């Protein structure tokens, strides 16, 4: 059997982490958007039986970990996993596995193709070196099931609503069902000239509930796309993400913005400093300027 490099950095890069028990390691397996095939699951079960202790651990980032693999068995275990196309995850100061909810593949609220985006992000960024761990999440709508705003990069499906007066019956329901209290009824000309329903764009969370639930179809989707968050993190010093762009309609532009955010972090981030903490240190205006060209 080929000798494997058991240097911690090499193993971490390849998703193999040292356990506290001497000579034992865990194998971190990548499930992009949380998806694994039945064949891959069977292979993982086989490896867990043969080289672990017959069990797996499900990680908080939709991954599967096989614990208690002796160092002498790491290479064999990896080979079996590879044979079923099972890929290893990442650890250390690198881009981690991209998580995603099912999005519009199966969820009635899904506004975007979360799995497609997660796969694209995986192919462009996974396992690249950065100043510290770097996490990305894609979530299909404002229900935010994958917690986009707790990740270094978060993408959320978004709808920008617009009120059209023609069919509105003035029932007032939208004011009540808007979860962000962003809709307001406004009388025009002291009520003589009628009324209109306005959205406060800053408060609106682009959830599309008004569009879906207005009985008269008076709310329409003016624009659809992606809300892009940057700099979210949990851990020791939590920070909710900053909205970089409320709606980006073009998928390729979305990747370009993420690429620029990534470059910004690599340029300014200090070792062991999360992206969000770097943003707080150098100022969100500077970051916006670098990524969006805004000041
Ligand atoms: S975030 Fe939205 S689209 Fe994704 S699973 Fe939750 S409800 Fe469905
Ligand atoms: S729910 Fe629709 S019909 Fe009712 S007030 Fe709002 S826009 Fe008008
Ligand atoms: S999209 Fe959601 S948050 Fe925005 S106005 Fe409509 S219901 Fe309110």
Q: CB within 8 A of 117, min separation 6: which ones?
A: 100, 138, 155, 226, 251, 254
Going by alpha carbons, the residue nearest to atom 4 of ligand 3 is 204
**Cα gap 31→226, rounded to integer Å:** 23
Banded pLDDT at 153 (limits 50, 70, 90)? very high
Report the Cα–Cα distance between both ends of the chain, in Å, rounded. Answer: 58
User: Which class for 32: exposed (0-12), middle (13-18), buried (19 or more C-beta within 10 A)?
Assistant: buried
Pick the atom of ligand 1 nearest to 108's CA: 8
**Cα gap 149→160, rounded to integer Å:** 19
Rounded to an integer, the average pLDDT of 33-42 is 97
Banded pLDDT at 3 (limits 50, 70, 90)? very low
pLDDT of residue 172: 96
pLDDT of residue 8: 72
pLDDT of residue 166: 87
**Cα gap 103→140, rounded to integer Å:** 4
Pick the atom of ligand 3 nearest to 183's CA: 5
Mapped onto helix, strand or coil, the DSSP state of residue 239 is strand
Determine if ligand 2 sits within 6 Å of the CB of residue 220. no
Going by alpha carbons, the residue nearest to atom 6 of ligand 3 is 210
What is the residue-averaged pLDDT of the chain?
94
Pair 129, 144: CB distance under 8 Å: no
Which of 162, 166, 172 has most ligand 2 atoms within 8 Å of CB, for mutation? Answer: 172
Taken in order of first residue, the domains within the chain and their CATH numbers are 8-88 (3.30.70.3340), 99-158+225-292 (3.30.413.10), 159-222 (3.30.70.20)
Tokens for 92, please give them.
């250390």
CA atoms within 13 A on the CB side of 155: 35
Spell out where the chain has E strands: 16-18, 24-30, 57-58, 64-70, 87-88, 99-100, 136-139, 153-163, 183-187, 195-199, 219-230, 242-248
pLDDT in tens, 218-253: 999 999 999 999 999 999 999 999 999 999 999 999
Pick the atom of ligand 1 nearest to 107's CA: 8
Pick the atom of ligand 1 nearest to 146's CA: 1
Banded pLDDT at 1 (limits 50, 70, 90)? very low
Count of helix runs (H) and strand runs (E) in the chain: 9, 12
Cα angle for residues 283, 287, 289 (degrees, 5° grid): 115
Rounded to an integer, the average pLDDT of 37-52 is 98
Ligand nearest to the CA of 163: 2
- Using the mean position of ligand 3's atoms as its centre, give its distance from the Cα of residue 266 in Å: 35
């Amino acid at each position: 059997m080929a000798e494997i490099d058991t240097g911690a950095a090499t193993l971490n890069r390849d998703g193999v982490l040292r356990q506290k028990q001497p000579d034992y390691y865990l194998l971190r397996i990548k499930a992009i958007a949380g998806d694994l095939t039945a064949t891959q699951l069977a292979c993982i079960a086989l490896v867990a039986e043969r080289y672990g202790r017959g069990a797996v651990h499900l990680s908080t980032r939709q991954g599967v970990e096989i614990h208690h693999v002796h160092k002498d068995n790491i290479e064999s275990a990896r080979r079996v996993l590879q044979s079923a196309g099972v890929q290893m995850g990442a650890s250390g100061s690198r881009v981690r596995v991209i998580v995603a909810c099912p999005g519009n593949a199966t969820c009635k609220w899904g506004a975007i193709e979360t799995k497609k985006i997660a796969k694209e992000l995986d192919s462009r960024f996974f396992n690249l070196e950065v100043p510290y761990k770097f996490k990305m999440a894609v979530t299909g709508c404002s229900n935010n099931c994958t917690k986009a705003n707790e990740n270094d990069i978060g993408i959320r499906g978004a709808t920008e609503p617009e009120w059209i007066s023609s069919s509105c019956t003035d029932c007032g329901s939208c004011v009540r069902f808007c979860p962000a209290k962003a809709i307001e009824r406004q009388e025009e000309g002291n009520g003589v000239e009628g009324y209109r329903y306005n959205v406060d764009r800053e408060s609106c969370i682009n959830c599309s509930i008004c569009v879906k639930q207005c009985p008269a179809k008076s709310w329409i989707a003016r624009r659809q796309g992606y809300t892009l968050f940057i700099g979210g993190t949990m851990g020791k010093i939590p920070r909710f993400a900053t909205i970089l762009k409320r709606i980006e309609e073009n998928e390729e532009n979305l990747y370009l913005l993420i690429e620029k955010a990534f470059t910004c972090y690599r340029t300014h981030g200090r070792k062991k400093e999360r992206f969000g903490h770097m943003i707080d240190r150098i100022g969100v205006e500077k970051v916006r300027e670098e990524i969006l060209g805004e000041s």
